[in-house]
């Protein structure tokens, strides 16, 4: 039954790839199509309200600049709201203003699509902040990511000087993709028992006669965009493990489809832009193979359980249930864990800190590689980066100038790619080392032994990959952690985006060269192997030592 459940979830995603990928292509290709009739009027109204007329194409620099300025403005306004939420409307539970380093961390976290949370929603945010800051940023950061991915694809597949108009793409992403999808998923989730109310906390007398206070609020409208936008920040502290955020097996599946479908469909969209659908499927296959390997690892590890607990002589046939919910079991929990760290969402329906050592290694490694599907486009962009690197390495081996999609790969592109590839491990490993050298960092560790290393490593990996899940035992709401992870999230988001848009801009202005018999084909099975090999090789070279000291050492010493 576990297998059937997983296959159905994966199967639905595979079925969705083609229609959704085609839809995204129609929205952003610029050719007129049916979606214009449905959404065009609403968009024109928005353009009119803000007085936006000049929809000309932008160079990659102007595009990146417009995105960063927009994000900066949103960060500023949101920071202000969190600092004065006490005086704003819709605060029935009387929340106070948020402290400054925590506010800094929170707005960076949501703007960068990370959604690392050093606060608990039910005890730190007013309903207005949950809506106007958290829910709003879930839309805008997701739309920013999608715009960057689309413009990157345009740069790789088209010729000219401009990669599209940021503001036009940004509004289209909201109006034609995220808003309608979020409204639909919200209603499905409410039907499946996720609350959506503005009433304050409910107080009841329990069966046993005790007093129970139950937090609620506008949960479903946040829950839907949290997954569709691969944001991952929960309404409640425990995220999608909370019965109000994720009440049953079906809502669990709906949330997994919501966060996975966009990242899975984008390779197909890329194939349509490249006028080579096979190229899209090659990228998709490489991602799916890696996904299945990781899913199997965490599933079998959790099913086998914790040897120390199994030795107590209880009935442990279910597997390792510490930190998991009965309604999901091992299959629903491990599948969610694999999907959420593949899609860079970072929502959790079980506590990753309590996973068995090899089980907990899977989310960690997926975030380190950061190429297995990814959110709305980050995974695709990183995978393209590895594809170009793979072509480059193969080119060196046979002594030919490497080409990708008919353009020569030269020193400028490789330098930018090297920056993007090296930035990721740098902003993970250096802060991890620093926090071990200071008391401020060490004092946050709550689990002794090798697992303590994993806790710190996970926090920075999750920040750098803009994932946002955590080994949540870590006591991370201190100025030290708020500021360091805030900076890591910023660099993790914008360094690679700028470098890769630079690659796209540079490739776009090159003369295409005709394909010859000597060209390395990038749309066949051999290239799937080359791609996976490149990803694993680079990943292993960078991260193997630290993985050995954390999860592997814990595994070897347990039981």
**Binders of another protein among 319-378, rule CB under 8 A?**
319-329, 331-332, 348-351, 353-357
Applying the rule CB under 8 A, the residues between 411 and 430 that interact with another protein are none
Instruction: Check if the beta carbon of residue 124 is closer than 8 Å to that of residue 235.
Output: no
Task: Find the part of the chain contacting another protein (CB under 8 A) among 208-216, 265-273, 374-382, 433-441.
Answer: 208-216
Task: Find the part of the chain contacting another protein (CB under 8 A) among 152-160, 184-192, 269-277, 434-442.
Answer: 184-192
Applying the rule CB under 8 A, the residues between 517 and 556 that interact with another protein are 554
Q: Could you tell me the smallest distance in angstroms from the CB atom of residue 326 to another protein?
A: 4
Tokens of 324: 């998991």
Radius of gyration for the alpha carbons in the chain, expressed in angstroms and rounded = 23
Residue 494 within binding range of another protein, rule CB under 8 A: no
Q: Could you tell me the smallest distance in angstroms from the CB atom of residue 445 to another protein?
A: 10
Residue 220 within binding range of another protein, rule CB under 8 A: yes
Give the H or E element holding residue 407: strand 407-408
Please tell me whether residue 408 adopts helix, strand or coil conformation: strand
Interaction pattern, residues 241-270, with another protein; x per rule: CB under 8 A: xxxx--xxxx-xx-----------------
Tokens of 36: 């214009």
Residue of 155, 305, 379, 492 that binds another protein (CB under 8 A) = 305
Q: Could you tell me the smallest distance in angstroms from the CB atom of residue 87 to another protein?
A: 17
Smaller CB separation from another protein, 194 or 427 = 194
Alpha carbons 549 and 472: distance in angstroms, whole number: 20
Among 360, 357, 351, 293, CA closest to 321: 351
Residue of 80, 84, 183, 544 that binds another protein (CB under 8 A) = 183
Q: Could you tell me the smallest distance in angstroms from the CB atom of residue 297 to another protein?
A: 15
Q: Could you tell me the smallest distance in angstroms from the CB atom of residue 462 to another protein?
A: 15
Residue of 39, 104, 119, 236 that binds another protein (CB under 8 A) = 236
Applying the rule CB under 8 A, the residues between 118 and 157 that interact with another protein are 120, 122-123, 131-133, 135-136, 138-140
Q: What one-character-per-residue DSSP string does 124-186 give?
A: H--HHHIIIIIIHHHHHHHHHHHHHHHHHHHHHH--SS----HHHHHHHIIIIIIHHHHHHHH
Angle between helices 136-157 and 249-273 (to 10 degrees): 30
Residue of 64, 192, 362, 388 that binds another protein (CB under 8 A) = 192
| Opening angle at CA 281, ends 369 and 393, nearest 5 | 50
Applying the rule CB under 8 A, the residues between 36 and 75 that interact with another protein are 46, 49-52, 62, 65-66, 69-70, 72-74
Residue 476 within binding range of another protein, rule CB under 8 A: no
Smaller CB separation from another protein, 309 or 393 = 309
Tokens of 65: 């600049």
Smaller CB separation from another protein, 320 or 382 = 320
Q: Could you tell me the smallest distance in angstroms from the CB atom of residue 201 to another protein?
A: 7
Applying the rule CB under 8 A, the residues between 12 and 41 that interact with another protein are none
Angle between helices 60-83 and 100-111 (to 10 degrees): 140
Residue 187 within binding range of another protein, rule CB under 8 A: yes
Q: Could you tell me the smallest distance in angstroms from the CB atom of residue 151 to another protein?
A: 16
Applying the rule CB under 8 A, the residues between 432 and 451 that interact with another protein are 446-451
Residue 167 within binding range of another protein, rule CB under 8 A: yes
Whole-angstrom CA distances from 403 to 14, 156, 158, 406, 537 are 30, 12, 15, 6, 21
Alpha carbons 519 and 291: distance in angstroms, whole number: 29
- Count the residues of the shown chain that bind another protein, applying the rule CB under 8 A: 126
| Opening angle at CA 370, ends 459 and 466, nearest 5 | 45
Residue 3 within binding range of another protein, rule CB under 8 A: no
Q: Could you tell me the smallest distance in angstroms from the CB atom of residue 429 to another protein?
A: 21
How many other C-beta atoms lie within 10 A of the C-beta of residue 241?
21
Instruction: Check if the beta carbon of residue 352 is closer than 8 Å to that of residue 471.
Output: yes
Give the H or E element holding residue 212: strand 211-214
């Amino acid at each position: 039954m576990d297998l059937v459940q997983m296959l159905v979830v994966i199967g639905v995603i595979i079925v969705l790839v083609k229609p959704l990928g085609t839809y995204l292509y129609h929205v952003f290709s610029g050719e007129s199509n049916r979606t214009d009739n449905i959404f065009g009027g609403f968009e024109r109204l928005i353009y009119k309200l803000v007085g936006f007329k000049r929809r000309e194409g932008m160079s990659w620099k102007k595009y990146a600049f417009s995105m960063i300025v927009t994000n900066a403005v949103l960060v500023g306004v949101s920071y202000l709201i969190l600092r004065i939420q006490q005086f704003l409307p819709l605060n029935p539970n009387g929340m106070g203003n948020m402290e400054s380093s925590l506010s800094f961390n929170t707005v960076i976290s949501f703007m960068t699509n990370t959604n690392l949370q050093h606060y608990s929603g039910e005890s730190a945010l007013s309903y207005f902040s949950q809506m106007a800051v958290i829910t709003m940023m879930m839309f805008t950061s997701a739309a920013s990511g999608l715009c960057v991915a689309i413009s990157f694809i345009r740069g790789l597949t088209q010729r000219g000087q401009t990669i599209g108009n940021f503001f036009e793409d940004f509004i289209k992403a909201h109006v034609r993709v995220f808003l309608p999808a979020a409204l639909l998923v919200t209603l499905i989730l409410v039907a499946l028992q996720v609350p959506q109310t503005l009433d304050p906390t409910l107080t009841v007398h329990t069966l046993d006669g005790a007093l129970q206070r139950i937090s609620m609020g506008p949960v479903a409208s946040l829950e839907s965009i949290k997954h569709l936008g691969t944001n991952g920040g929960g309404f409640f502290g425990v995220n999608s493990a909370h019965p109000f955020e994720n009440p049953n097996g079906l809502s669990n599946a709906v949330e997994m489809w919501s966060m996975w479908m966009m990242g899975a469909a984008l390779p197909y969209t890329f194939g349509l832009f490249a006028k080579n659908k096979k190229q899209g499927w090659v990228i998709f296959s490489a991602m799916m193979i890696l996904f299945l390997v990781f899913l199997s690892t965490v599933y079998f590890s959790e099913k086998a359980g914790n040897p120390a607990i199994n030795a107590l002589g209880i009935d442990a046939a279910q597997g390792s249930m510490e930190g998991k919910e009965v309604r999901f079991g091992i299959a629903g929990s491990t599948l969610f864990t694999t999907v959420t760290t593949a899609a860079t969402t970072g929502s959790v329906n079980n506590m990753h800190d309590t996973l068995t050592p090899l089980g907990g290694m899977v989310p960690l490694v997926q975030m380190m590689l950061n190429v297995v599907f990814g959110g709305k486009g980050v995974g695709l962009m990183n995978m393209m980066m590895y594809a170009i690197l793979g072509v480059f390495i193969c080119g060196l081996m046979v002594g030919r100038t490497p080409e990708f999609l008919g353009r020569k790969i030269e020193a400028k592109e490789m330098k930018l790619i090297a920056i993007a590839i090296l930035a990721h491990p740098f902003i993970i490993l250096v802060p991890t080392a620093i926090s071990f050298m200071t008391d401020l960092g060490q004092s946050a560790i709550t689990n002794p032994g090798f697992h303590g290393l994993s806790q710190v490593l996970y926090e920075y990996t999750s920040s750098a990959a803009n994932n946002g899940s955590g080994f949540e035992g870590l006591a991370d709401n201190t100025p030290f952690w708020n500021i360091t992870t805030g900076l890591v999230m910023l660099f993790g988001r914008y360094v690679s985006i700028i470098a890769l848009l630079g690659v796209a801009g540079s490739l776009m202005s090159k003369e295409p060269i005709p394909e010859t018999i000597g060209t390395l084909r990038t749309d066949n099975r051999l290239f799937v192997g080359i791609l996976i090999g490149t990803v694993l090789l680079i990943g292993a070279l960078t991260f193997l030592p630290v993985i050995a000291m954390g999860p592997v050492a814990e595994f070897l010493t347990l039981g």
